[in-house]
Structure 1
Amino acid sequence: MLAILEKSPDGYVVRFDRSFGHSAEALWSMLTENDKLSRWFSELEVGELREGGFIRFNMPDGSFEKLDILDLHPPSILEYTWGEDRVRFELYPEPEGCRLVLIEKLQAITAHTPKDLAGWHVCLEVVRLLLDGEEMPSRKEEWELWYEKYTRHVDAFLAEEGGQGN
């Protein structure tokens, strides 16, 4: 299922909504414990897990970008900066596990947006597989498949909006 893309007063909102057959606590640990976080997003590392704390986005050249934690309510809400944008994870316990809503607040839609959306899509599937004790055979192939779909999805959205992306 593709993410929902909507216009908002201050940009755009992308929403991924997924159900997991695992507890909110199990999913929370995937988002916040470095040994688990690195298994699905190797560039991310929690520096200080607190509101006002930070997450590091480790760059290939050895430098890092600091992502500020804006909102934190364990084990249900984690929000941090993502460049000029924001990423928010919301976890809702359900009888059969947990529902995860990933919200990305974008100031603008750019040529890079479909790449990011495909990346988040694949990351969420990798989290599911890891929690189920499985691995994704080829993240690159999976990403390429979803990148094509998100490119069409974003293009169609922009066409409906009158082509207002950057």
Structure 2
Amino acid sequence: MSSREQYEPGAASGAEVRKEGEKWTLVLVRDLSHPPAKVWKALTDPEHLREWAPFDSDRSLGAVGTAKLSTVGTPTPQVSETQVKRADAPKVLEFNWGGQDLRWELEPRGGGTRLTLWHNIDRNFISMGAAGWHICFDVLERLLASQPIGRIVGPEVMKFGGWQRLNAEYAKQFGVETPGWPSRPRT
């Protein structure tokens, strides 16, 4: 039985960066042992999102159109209007969040799903983003296995020792500087 206290993220893996000029895209791949329809529901249903995602939605993301996404764990919730541009259940979901494009692809693999996320993100935050999504995916995996540990997002995630380690590991893999967050003086 997995619990939040026992949770420790594994090594940084399954992520890469694609660069097109100044535009950087984080690509994360995770193999899940659950069918695409179940994973789709977790990606689109507001009740499921509340268990693992870094944002809440005021409606299902499973249909094209406008939705309001609220950032979780910030002192004041930041609400941004998003456009769900594509919702091909249970294959492709595309929307923007806070000016960044997210594209989720679900590919059947045996009885499970290969989940791929493309997230165009500021180069300065790419290792932090990879570390954050890595932990979100771990929490998602436990939720799908009916062993929820509750979401770990926002400032709370940075208190996790595993997050600091992942941030440094991804920065090294991507060849970027580890963002000094929280800022610490250099010696």
Q: Which of the pair is proportionally richer in strand?
A: 1
Inter-partner Cα distance in structure 1 for 2:148 and 2:141:
9
User: How far is the alpha carbon of 1:47 from its aligned partner?
Assistant: 2.9
Partner of 1:163: none
User: How far is the alpha carbon of 1:104 from its aligned partner?
Assistant: 0.9
Deviation readout 1:42-61 (Å, 9 max, x if unpaired): 63214353222224124531
Matched, 1:141 2:161: yes
Q: Which of the pair is proportionally richer in helix?
A: 1
Inter-partner Cα distance in structure 2 for 1:6 and 1:126:
25
| Conserved? CA contact 1:76–1:92, under 8 Å | yes
CA RMSD of aligned residues (A): 2.4
Matched, 1:30 2:42: yes
- Out of 21, 26, 30, the residue aligned to residue 14 of structure 1 is 26
Partner of 1:44: 56
Deviation readout 1:13-69 (Å, 9 max, x if unpaired): 211111111010110111111111100026321435322222412453145122221
User: How far is the alpha carbon of 1:6 from its aligned partner?
Assistant: 1.5
User: How far is the alpha carbon of 1:150 from its aligned partner?
Assistant: 2.0
Runs of 4+ off more than 4 Å: 135-139
Aligned residues with identical type, % of pairs? 23
The two structures have a TM-score, normalised by structure 1, of 0.80
Can you give the 5+ residue segments of structure 1 that lack an aligned partner in the other structure? 159-166
Can you give the 5+ residue segments of structure 2 that lack an aligned partner in the other structure? 1-12, 178-187
The two structures have a TM-score, normalised by structure 2, of 0.72
